[in-house]
Structure 1
Amino acid sequence: MTAVGGRTLSLEDFSNIIFNESIIDLEASALENVEKNYQFLKQFSTEKVIYGINTGFGPMAQYRVGEDKALQLQYNLIRSHCSGSGKLLSPVLSKALMVARLNSLMQGYSGIHKETVELLTTLINKNITPCIYEHGGVGASGDLVQLAHLGLMLIGEGDVNYKEKVQPAAEVFSQLGIKPLTIHIREGLAILNGTSAMTGIGMLNIIQAKKLLDWLIILSAITNEVVGAFSDHFSHELNIVKHHKGQNWVAAAMRTVLKDSKMIRSRNEHLYEADHVKQQEVFEDKVQEYYSLRCVTQILGPIYDTIAHAEKIVTDELNSVNDNPVVDHHNQNIFHGGNFHGDYVALEMDKLRTAITKLSMLSERQLNYLLNDKLNQKFPPFLNLGVLGFNFGMQGMQFTATSTVAENQSLSFPMYVHSIPNNNDNQDIVSMGCNAALFTKKVIDNSFEVLAIQMMTVLQAVDYLNCDHLMSSKTKAVYTAIRKIFPKFVEDAPKYKDLEKVKNYFEKSDPLAFINSGSTIPATIPVIE
């Protein structure tokens, strides 16, 4: 069970609700605070002009709305903004949006009746999610369109995802005895006017980005093993003189993964002290590996730091009040402003997307090194374990990896600087935060594909060398686990189903289970202080 309200909701809490279906329990004192906030608004709003309660919205705020139409105004707002298009968000993304909105409303500054948060909690706990479309929000009066579709579900209209099926909300509510939300004062505006779509999706992006980083550390370790790389490039001594937390964390993780490998070489033993090398004028062995092998800590280190910073910023947003106006019963006032603006999340998603694109580029370069016999001078072309010229090995898979990385590169243009004024120029500079979060999710999904292809390739390399008994205990465990779902192949056969299996394994499994077994590497990427 996960308590919501009265405490900071962490990334781990968020993950438990979304992926482990931890039941939400609303903290009693926080729920009482929500009720006090509502009662204050009810009293304070009498005979005062307050945006979105007795006025229109946005550029039409100069028009007064009569008391007899105030509640209908909220319904009009929800229904009119249900204008999304494109693909439906997956139920997981919609649930993430719901958790983010619930946590913001539970801060007790939105002037809502407690019925709103109680209904949201019921729906989350029963895995009933709204049908929300990817297109619509500009991320600066909040994720208005996406959250309008949440509001539509709450009032018992529109469609929902329930038990893996799209159904009318009214039918599901009736079937389960769920009472739709009643508008009391400003519930419509409070639901729509926030950053919860970009924030919920952003939190999921961070969870999956961590997995990608950990998997590529493992893949980089195995790749270094099969090519017999030197140990000094991930050594403590080399990395500690560069004062970046991420670089040193990655180096420590690689040392942990490769601790008992019999394939990683010592420069002292093979170059400095080797008699046969001292007599050579032209060295048969490379003195230094290619950058994609030698610079792993320097490339993945900034990605670590980017993920850690994104976790801090987006978690702060998750636990923030991000609608407008702010109903402050503690100071007995209502404050108008722009806490719905999504620039914090948009910028972090752009940075994260760029970092994950770079991660996929490193994976593709390591893959290329393994497949190009002229570079590695160790493996057959395309790690073809069959007859050269007759069989093709991983040749076809490389095309998929290369084109997918190219798509990531194109998707990495920042949304943060892509503002288009709208809403009669009331929203004259916007964040496009939901677009940024969705593009980042696409890049993350793509990167799982690229890493899966690299994993399929390194396993073929291990079998070509027949060296699994020389691998470290941790990389051997990974080899064994993946070979159960992707067996060694010699003859050509379609690989798209194998790719999907390995990708799904990467997305759903915890790579830290391999890294951390018997080690002191932290179980999660720490937040930057």
Structure 2
Amino acid sequence: MVILTGETLTFQDLEAILYSGVKVGLSKACIEKIHASRRAVEQIVNEGRTVYGINTGFGKFSDVQIDVQNVEELQRNLILSHACGVGPLFSNKISQAMMVLRANALAKGYSGVRLEVVEMLLELVNKEVYPCIPQQGSLGASGDLAPLSHLALVVIGEGEVVYNGERMVTKDCFAQIGMKPLVLQAKEGLALINGTQAMTATGAVAYIEAERLSYQAELIASVTMEGLNGIMDAFDADVHIARGYPEQVETAARMRGYLKDSKLTTVQGELRVQDAYSMRCIPQVHGATWQTLSYVKEKLLIEMNAATDNPLIFDDGGKVISGGNFHGQPIAFAMDFLAIAMAELGNISERRVERLVNPQLNDLPPFLSPSPGLQSGAMIMQYVAASLVSENKTLAHPASVDSIPSSANQEDHVSMGTIGARHAMQVIENVRRVYAIEAICALQAVEIRGIERMASITSDFYEAAREIVPTIRADRVFSTDMERMAEWLRINKEHTVNNAV
């Protein structure tokens, strides 16, 4: 079980919850903090003090005081009115990640919610009930208001969920599993929605998938090196140590490890003096993506354990401050950077695909066709790769440079971080398909060269991948192959660990 403390949630924890079904609980220390902050809110209400979000309106309505008898209605109205998300739904994993991250933020004890609110979020996680949360509609400041309101709808028994693979209204699901909705009290509605958990959850899932894909990219590129009789001198450790980037050094080391006993790679001067950049510069380009992933991981880890509510309650209610921790700018930058770095990982892969299929650039059969002319082989696979990387160039345009004022200019600068996170996820999905195409082409090329001459590690990859996509012996509907390979890469952990060095 993963125990939330509000401070120590890691990517390993989140991956265990989302991908392995590990359950979640709360630490005893958190429970005490939650109770203390709740007592502070109740004291504010009882004393009739005017505090934003507890007994006032929201946004531009912050100066409107709400009577104590209307506080519960205020919280419900907030959730109903702010549930304005549109478009396709976030995936179940991202929806679940939002609940985990919101619970972790509330567990810090700065938000003033009852323990029941946090416990209900964790019960939804543990029972694998996924709120239906539309992807579009967040500005990424004042929190991810629209998406998190759809999450909060489920807490109060409204909205829709996915349970056991079926989309249904929340009330029907609760009837099945014996859960009861909560009636939100002072501040609890705002505490549920005023945070960055939509962009952070999307970013965290995107990071997990990007990291896995980046390891796979090196292994697939290694098979391409064999398919094109690539020159290994460019991966010599001295070359990369001389430049000094650790990620570049590590990428070159993994490539050398993958190919250490290959009889298909060459040395400079054996067949040619040097390779094209898309092969020779794999450590430099892939390594730069790893640098970006390190930056993104650092920012996400901070945000996964951050208090992003407003207002925040300190000193047992002695200090209640309305600030701006809900502003998503740090994650917005990180997500734009992630999209750019992964798009570039796709760009260099597409160039290697071109080298595998273009008869002017290699000595393989044109387009790896089993019968050139009569059969087109992998010709249009390269078209698809080119289309995907071109689309990524549009998706990689930074979202964080835009801002549109809202709430009658009270909220006059926003991050657009959720848009950036969604785009990063789309880029990663496109790049995975590009690498699926490179893998299919590289597998075909090494067959032509002689699979018995492959390195031990790449040979293992070849054998596993051939269970997914068989040899191209005649033209067929390659869309099926590309999607099967991409899905295999998405779920396959076996070839993502650093087992080469």
Alignment TM-score, normalising by the size of structure 2: 0.97
Aligned to 1:134, the other structure's residue is in SS state strand
Query: 1:226, CA displacement in angstroms?
Result: 2.0
Deviation at 1:263, TM superposition (A): 2.0
Structure 1 residue 477 and structure 2 residue 483: aligned? no
**Number of the residue aligned with 2:55:** 54
Which region of structure 1 is more displaced relative to structure 2, 291-300 or 84-93? 84-93
Q: 339, 354, 367: which one pairs with 1:382? A: 367
Identical-pair percentage = 36
- Aligned: 1:438 with 2:428: no
Cα deviation, 1:19-38, whole Å, max 9, x if unaligned, reads 10101021122112111111
Give ranges in structure 2 of 5+ residues lacking alignment. Answer: none
- The alignment status of 1:304 with 2:290, answered yes or no, reads yes
Match of 1:404 among 377, 388, 394: 388
CA distance in structure 2 between the partners assigned to 1:499 and 1:95 by the alignment = 29
- Does residue 490 of structure 2 align to residue 507 of structure 1? yes
In 2, Cα distance between equivalents of 1:7 and 1:79 = 31
> Which residue in the other structure is 1:147 paired with?
148
Whether the aligned pair in 1 keeps the contact of 2:311 and 2:320 (CA below 8 Å) is yes
- 8 Å contact from structure 1 (residues 142, 342) kept in 2: yes
Q: What secondary structure sits across from 2:135 in the alignment?
A: strand
Provide Cα deviations, 1:129-151, integer angstroms capped at 9, x if missing partner: 11110111101000000000011
Q: Shift in Å at residue 513 of structure 1? A: 5.1
Per the alignment, do residues 62 and 514 of structure 1 end up closer, same or farther by CA in structure 2, a change over 3 Å counting?
closer
Conserved 8 A contact 2:311-2:321 = yes
Q: 5 Å matches for 1:309-388? A: 309-329=295-315, 332-376=318-362, 378-385=363-370, 387-388=371-372
- Find the residue that maps to 1:160 and give its secondary structure: strand
User: Contact 1:214 / 1:511 at 8 angstroms: preserved in 2?
Assistant: no
- Cα offset, 1:182, TM superposition: 2.3
Q: Which residue of 1 aligns with 2:376?
A: 392
CA contact (8 A) 2:336 2:396 kept: yes
For structure 1, which segment, 356-365 or 503-512, has the greater mean C-alpha deviation from structure 2 after superposition? 503-512
* CA–CA separation in structure 2 for the residues paired with 1:461 and 1:228: 10
Post-superposition offset of 1:6: 5.3
Shift of the alpha carbon at 1:41?
2.1
Aligned to 1:525: none
1-structure distance, mates of 2:110, 2:227: 57
Residue 413 of structure 1 aligns with which residue? Answer: 397
Shift of 1:10: 0.5
Q: Which residue of 2 aligns with 1:29?
A: 29
Asked whether 1:4 is paired with 2:4, we answer yes
Deviation at 1:264, TM superposition (A): 2.1
**2:72–2:183: 8 Å Cα contact kept in structure 1?**
no
1:367 and 1:69 map into 2 onto residues whose CA distance is: 63
Q: What residue is the counterpart of 1:496 in the other structure? A: 479
Q: Which string of whole-angstrom CA distances, capped at 9 and with x for unpartnered residues, describes residues 402-430 of structure 1?
A: 11111111111101101111221111110
Q: Which amino acid counterpart does residue 365 of structure 2 have in structure 1?
A: P
Aligned length: 500
The letter for the 2-side match of 1:491 is: A
Spell out the pairing of 1:16-95 with structure 2 (5 A cutoff).
16-45=16-45, 46-95=47-96
Aligned to 1:526: none
Aligned equivalents of 1:232 and 1:129: distance in 2? 51
Measure the CA separation in 1 of the matches of 2:230 and 2:33.
60
Could you report, residue by residue, the CA deviation over 1:372-397 in whole angstroms, capped at 9, with x for unpaired residues? 11012x11111112x22111110121
Contact 1:256-1:515 within 8 A present in 2 as well: no
Amino acid at match of 1:213: S
Q: Using the alignment, how far apart are the partners of 2:231 and 2:86 within structure 1?
A: 53
Inter-partner Cα distance in structure 1 for 2:497 and 2:156 = 46
Would the aligned equivalents of 1:153 and 1:169 in 2 still touch at CA under 8 Å? yes
> Distance between the aligned counterparts of 1:512 and 1:489, measured in 2?
23
Question: Is the contact between residue 157 and residue 171 of structure 2 (CA under 8 Å) also seen in structure 1?
Answer: yes
- 8 Å Cα contact 1:477-1:514 kept in structure 2: no
TM alignment of 1:267-282, pairs within 5 A: 267=268, 270=269
Give the distance between the partners of 1:380 and 1:515, measured in 2 at CA.
33
Whole-Å Cα distance in 2 between the matches of residues 184 and 134 of structure 1?
27
Does the 8 Å contact 2:141/2:328 carry over to 1? Answer: yes
Does residue 1:428 correspond to 2:412, yes or no? Answer: yes
Counterpart position of 2:222: 221
CA deviations 1:272-325 (Å, max 9, x no partner) are: xxxxxxxxxxxxx43111000000011111100101110110110010000101
Q: Paired residue for 1:275?
A: none
Distance in 1 between the 2:402 and 2:434 partners? 28
Do the aligned partners of 2:41 and 2:317 also contact (CA within 8 Å) in 1? no
The 3-state SS of whatever aligns with 2:249 is helix
Which digits, 9 at most, give the CA deviation of each residue in 1:216-253, with x for residues without a partner? Answer: 11111111122222212111111001111211111111
Q: Give structure 1 stretches of 5+ with no counterpart.
A: 272-284, 521-529
2:451 is matched with 468
- Aligned partner of residue 15 in structure 1, secondary structure: helix
Take 1:230 and 1:286, find their aligned partners in 2: how far apart are those partners? 8
- Deviations along 1:86-111, whole A, 9 cap, x unmatched? 11112122111111111111111100
CA distance in 2 between partners of 1:147 and 1:172 (Å): 19
- Per-residue deviation at 1:329? 3.2
The amino acid that maps onto 1:215 is Q
- 1:153 and 1:368 map into 2 onto residues whose CA distance is 49
Q: Contact 2:37–2:317 (CA<8 Å) still a contact in 1?
A: no
Contact 2:213 2:496 in 1 (8 A): no
1:256-267 mapped onto 2 (5 Å cutoff): 256-267=257-268
Partner of 1:292: 278
4+ residue runs over 6 A deviation: none
Structure 1 counterpart of 2:8, one-letter code: T
2:130 aligns to what?
129
Measure the CA separation in 1 of the matches of 2:101 and 2:428. Answer: 21
Distance in 2 (alpha carbons) for counterparts of 1:153 and 1:331: 29
Tell me the equivalent position of 1:104.
105
**What's the CA shift string for 1:443-473, capped at 9, x where partnerless?**
11111111101111011101122x2111111
**Alpha-carbon contact 2:34-2:115 (below 8 Å) kept:** yes
The answer (yes or no) to whether the contact 2:40–2:317 under 8 Å persists in 1 is no
Amino acid of the residue matched to residue 152 of structure 1?
L
2:176 equivalent in structure 1: 175
Decide whether the 8 Å contact of 1:91 with 1:129 is kept in 2. Answer: yes
Alpha-carbon RMSD: 1.3
TM-score w.r.t. the length of structure 1 is 0.92
Structure 1: distance between partners of 2:392 and 2:309: 32
Q: Tell me, in whole angstroms, the C-alpha distance in 2 between the residues paired with 1:292 and 1:330.
A: 59
